[in-house]
Homo-oligomer: A and B are copies of this chain.
């Protein structure tokens, strides 16, 4: 293990390589299904070398989840209470769908974790996530009270955005098996646009 100094270029590069490979494997196999050997092979490094940069398999997983939770909620944070209500919501939907298209591995890592009971992030969900969601639901409620958008249960509105957008990353195989060669994301964005505009039209 290196001493407690500023990380060298080699350290930065190798840590990044390892986390990228770990994301590949964890998102495809789940935590217990992933093996350090497979991560090492994907990263093009030896197994002991991985464990030189991270103290354990668990630590790699933690590092990924920590980094993920920060960025995963940015699109929701960016929903601005002072903006045009319907366009703010549509912007959130669009950003979230783009994340499913551009970062499907992150989406599946998260899905795997929650599917299996969120043992490692349960606190973050019921504190940080809940706090953020509750505050955005308050915003949604003022928009509904002002008549800018139609009335619906605000929490379930947010759940619907998560579910509809992440579905295209998490269930990608199924979506493509049913759709055939057609690209899912173009049709999805058009569909979601219609859905939310019709549902929320005052």
Q: Which residues of A contact B (CB under 8 A)?
A: 28-33, 108, 111-112, 114-118, 122, 125-126, 129-130, 133-134, 150, 152-153, 155-157, 159-160, 162-164, 166-168, 170-171, 173-175, 177-180, 187-188, 190-191, 194-195, 198-199, 201
Contact = CB atoms under 8 A, between A and B. Distances in A.
Copies per complex? 2
8 contacts: A29-B32, A30-B30, A32-B32, A111-B115, A111-B171, A118-B177, A159-B175, A163-B166
Given A112-B115, A118-B173, A187-B156, A130 B167 contact: no
A175 B201 CA distance: 26
Contacts of A188: 156, 159
A25 to B, nearest CB: 11
A177 B168 CA distance: 23
Nearest to A154: B191
Given A112-B115, A114-B173, A125-B178, 9 more contacts: A30-B116, A122-B173, A129-B174, A153-B187, A159-B188, A160-B191, A195-B195, A198-B198, A198-B199
A100 to B, nearest CB: 11
Could you say which of A125, A174, A177, A190 has the most chain B C-beta atoms within 10 Å of its C-beta?
A174
A164 to B, nearest CB: 5
A199 B33 CA distance: 41
